[in-house]
Amino acid sequence: MRKSYILVLVILAVISGWYLGSLTKNNQNMLGNEGGISVDLIVKQYRNGTLLSEQYKRGDPFTKNFMLNMYALLNGYGSSVTMQDETNNARSIGYGSLFSGVAYVGIGTGTNAFDINNYNLISPIAWVQNSATSSSSIGTKGNISFSASFSLSSAATITEVGVKVSEGGYNFLILRDLITPINANAGDTITVQYIIRLNG
């Protein structure tokens, strides 16, 4: 239930952030440089407990599925949306099933450019339920953070990460990012952290 609550907070934050961000772009004199939303991605590689590499990326890699989740949230109870699940099948999901599942963070080896119609990682290796979910605020600024850790059983070159949510018995991709390739050995640990920043 807590994870569903956090997912709703994330979506509300994004709605508010996009709105404020659009106002900022359209009227810099009214809002100055504040407002808007950013998504930070931090990926680390460990070997035998030692940090080998760390990369940071800022962007807004939201998929069409995420947009449809927001639409349903605003449209209210009794509405439904049709989204592409992780097998690329169209699924009609009623409002009551939205935000009722859990979120998963994934890693993969795909290199295709991000597309808003992405429905899965291109070549997923593993998915792990997100953990270490937290939220904080200072003044007008707020953060929502969640992460996952992966222990590799075989060598792989990690090139993509993403987030999917379980709704109505199906999984839907809502975030996907390409990263600088990580050449990982068997036994390496990869950690993925997303931080959604509201109002700056």
Phi-psi region of 62 (alpha: psi -120 to 50; beta: other; left: phi over 0): beta
Place of tokens 């809502």: 174
Alpha carbon distance 125, 186 (integer Å): 13
Q: Is the distance from CB of 43 to CB of 191 less than 8 angstroms?
A: yes
In this predicted structure, what is the pLDDT of residue 145? 87
Question: Which of the 8 DSSP states describes residue 184?
Answer: E
**Which pLDDT tens digit goes with each residue over 81-138?**
999 999 999 999 887 777 777 899 999 999 999 999 999 999 999 999 988 777 888 7
pTM of the model: 0.80
pLDDT of residue 19: 39
Sequential DSSP letters for 42-81: EEEEEETTEEEEEEEEEE--B-HHHHHHHHHHHH-TT-EE
In this prediction, residue 28 carries a pLDDT of: 41
- Considering its fold, how many domains does the chain have in total? 1
pLDDT confidence of residue 7: 52
Q: Which domain holds residue 109?
A: 2-198
Rounded to an integer, what distance in angstroms lies between the CA atom of residue 190 and that of residue 49?
11
The per-residue pLDDT for 82 is 94
pLDDT < 70: residue spans in the chain: 1-35, 200
The candidate with the shortest Cα–Cα distance to 119, out of 148, 81, 161, 89, is: 89
pLDDT of residue 147: 93
The pLDDT score that the predictor gives to residue 52 is 97
Q: What is the pLDDT of residue 31?
A: 37
